[in-house]
Chain A
Amino acid sequence: MNLTLKIWRQKDSKSKGQMVDYKVTEISEHMSFLEMMDVLNEQLINNGDSPVAFDHDCREGICGSCSMYINGEAHGPDRGVTTCQLHMRMFKDGDVITIEPFRAKAFPVLKDLSVDRSAFDRIQHAGGYISVNTSGNTQDANATLISKHNADLAMDAATCIGCGACVASCKNSSAMLFVGAKVSQYALLPQGQVEAADRVKNMVAQMDLEGFGNCTNTGACEVECPKGISLENIARMNRELLKANF
């Protein structure tokens, strides 16, 4: 396939960015989207130009590093996948593809397509954990029974890869799907109960402090989330918050 790519280029967080057009040829439909980007970068390097910066690592859809906004959608046109799992067979010969970074006030651009998502980390520092000693003296893991239903629901919430597609897809740049998933995981497990109230209050406060917007129930996040994290988690977070405040 031959393609035209319109890519956001930005030297660093202080510089102004702009869209730049590139052509790539001989793209195989079996390539992943990131492999197509590798081909472009190899071409740029061989021409003495600077390659496009983008985040990636596992290339298996699990680390949450890759974060491209492709043709107006986080992680591109395929459903339930990350950019590294998106394949070129989703595109046609001659297509023009627009590639931008995830945009949100709380995710400043570092370079080209790479953004700073450390706000997610800071939200977790505010309470995304259970306060247990790492001493090796915890009680036997089978001593507290957990219903399969709750364990499965907690697992579903814990599946979030922290990619930020939910933020990028939301017209309010809200991080509630991510935070809701985190809060839910612990809220569903007996181990997380003791600090539940403080946890949700602190995490939500930090989320607001970081400059993420609020949820207006549009649901774009759920649609674009590569891991199928459901809106129910936002509802659960809101319930937990209400509970915590009364």
Chain B
Amino acid sequence: MSVLETYSHISSSPIFVSSELPDIPEMGGFVVFSGIVRNLNEGKKVTHLEYEAYAPMANEMISNILADACKKWDLLHANCIHRVGKLGISEIAVIVETGSVHRAEAYESNRYIIDRVKHEVPIWKKEFYFDGSSQWSKGCVHESH
């Protein structure tokens, strides 16, 4: 077992969308967002990606973002798992699940969670291209926010 498996929000193993919903009788809306590795970025053909994380800090920050979402909205379920390591095209890089009594809270909170994870959490993406080159994604520059 990888040491990363001790972190509930950071995974070195593939992530799959489950066909089973959380067993919560009050839940009327459930939203799943999947961030997927695509084969093209800014006109360059991508072969694969590598994600790196400062795992203990990233795990804690995702946990805090989920807690913040639960304070802002009346959620019955909230989870987020981010992959690290080498990912091929069409693999899931991140998954965010939210569930609530009505759909509005589930949609809004899901967007809030993925936006904060993308901008704040110490996770980085390196893109590898067909021409053999590679590049770290420039990411979100915090000074501009």
Say if A and B assemble together.
no
Identify the B interface with A (CB < 8 A).
none
